[in-house]
Chains A and B, each alone.
Chain A
Amino acid sequence: MEATKSEVTRRDFFTGAAYGTLGLALGLKGLPRRAGAAEPFAAEKPVSTVVLVRNEAAVGPDHQINAKVVAEMLDAAVTAFSGEADALKAWKRYFRPDDTVGIKFTRCGWMTVPTEPEVTEAIAARLRDAGVPAARIHVKDYGMPLKECTALVNVPSIKAHTLTGIAVSVKNYICFASGKLERYHGDGSAKLGETWLLPDVKGKTRLVIVDALRPYFGPGPQLNPLHRWDYKGLLVGTDPVAVDTVCLRLCQVKRNLFKGEEWPLSPPAKSIAAADTEYHLGTSDPTKIKLVKLGWSDGVLI
Chain B
Amino acid sequence: MWMREQRLLVLVAGVFGLFAAAALTQEPGDRAMQIGTLLPRQIDGWRAGADDKTFTRDTIFEYMDGAGEIYLAYDFQRLLVRQYAKAGAPALAAEVYQMESSEDAFGIFSHDLDGQEVALGQGARYAAGFLRFWKDRVFVRLLAERETDETRAVLMALGKQIASAIPREGKRPLLVDCLPTEGLLSDSVRYFHKQVSLNCYYYLADGNLLNLSERTEAVLGRYQRGEHKVWLLVVRYPDAQEARSAHEQFQRIYFRGKPSAESPARVEKVERGEFVSVQWEDRFLTLVFEAQDKETCVRLSDAVTGKLKEVSAWKRQRAK
- Residues of A that sit less than 8 Å from B by CB: 1, 3, 5-11, 13-15, 29-30, 62-63, 108, 110-112, 161-164, 181-182, 184-185, 187-189, 218-227, 261, 264, 266-268, 270
Contact = CB atoms under 8 A, between A and B. Distances in A.
A162 B69 contact: yes
Contacts of B147: 225
A7 B203 contact: no
A1 B61 CA distance: 40
Nearest to A110: B64
15 contacts: A1-B256, A5-B206, A9-B254, A163-B66, A182-B61, A184-B66, A218-B112, A218-B114, A221-B71, A224-B127, A225-B130, A226-B114, A266-B199, A267-B203, A268-B203
B314 interface: no
Given A162-B67, A188-B199, A267-B203, 9 more contacts: A9-B204, A163-B67, A163-B196, A181-B66, A182-B66, A221-B71, A224-B127, A264-B203, A266-B200
Contacts of B204: 9-10
Given A181-B65, A220-B67, A267-B200, A225 B205 contact: no
A297 B291 CA distance: 38
Interface of B: 61, 63-71, 111-112, 114-115, 127-130, 141, 143, 146-147, 196, 199-207, 209, 229, 253-254, 256-257, 270-272
A30 B112 contact: no
Contact of A187 (B114, B206, B229): B206
A9 B249 CA distance: 12
A222 B272 contact: no
Given A220-B70, A224-B114, A267-B200, A6 B65 contact: no
Contacts of A162: 66-67, 69-70, 196, 200
B127 A226 contact: yes
Nearest to B147: A225
A220 to B, nearest CB: 6
Considering the complex of A and B, which 9 residue pairs feature the smallest CB-CB distances, nearest first? A221-B67, A225-B128, A267-B199, A6-B207, A9-B205, A221-B70, A8-B206, A110-B64, A226-B127
B205 A8 contact: yes
A30 B271 contact: yes
Given A162-B200, A219-B111, A221-B71, A188 B206 contact: yes
A166 to B, nearest CB: 13
Contacts of B253: 3, 7, 9
A112 to B, nearest CB: 8
A31 to B, nearest CB: 10
Contacts of A264: 203
A222 B97 CA distance: 13
A81 B114 CA distance: 38
Contacts of A219: 111-112, 200-201
Q: Which of A3, A8, A184, A222: most chain B CB closer than 10 A?
A: A222
Contacts of B67: 110-111, 161-163, 220-222
B214 to A, nearest CB: 16
Contacts of A14: 271-272
A7 B204 CA distance: 10
B69 A163 contact: yes
A3 B270 CA distance: 16
A216 to B, nearest CB: 12
A266 B201 contact: yes
A164 B70 CA distance: 12
Q: Which of A5, A6, A219, A221: most chain B CB closer than 10 A?
A: A221
A220 B68 CA distance: 11
A267 B147 CA distance: 31
Nearest to A259: B114
Contacts of A188: 199, 206
Contacts of A15: 271
B56 to A, nearest CB: 15
A29 B183 CA distance: 25
B254 A11 contact: yes
Given A13-B203, A163-B196, A219-B200, A226 B128 contact: yes
Given A219-B200, A221-B111, A267-B200, A6 B206 contact: yes
Q: Which of A63, A184, A226, A270: most chain B CB closer than 10 A?
A: A226
A221 B64 contact: yes
Nearest to A63: B146
Nearest to B67: A221
Contact of A224 (B61, B71, B115, B207): B115
B201 A222 contact: no
Contacts of B257: 1
Given A221-B111, A225-B127, A9 B66 contact: no
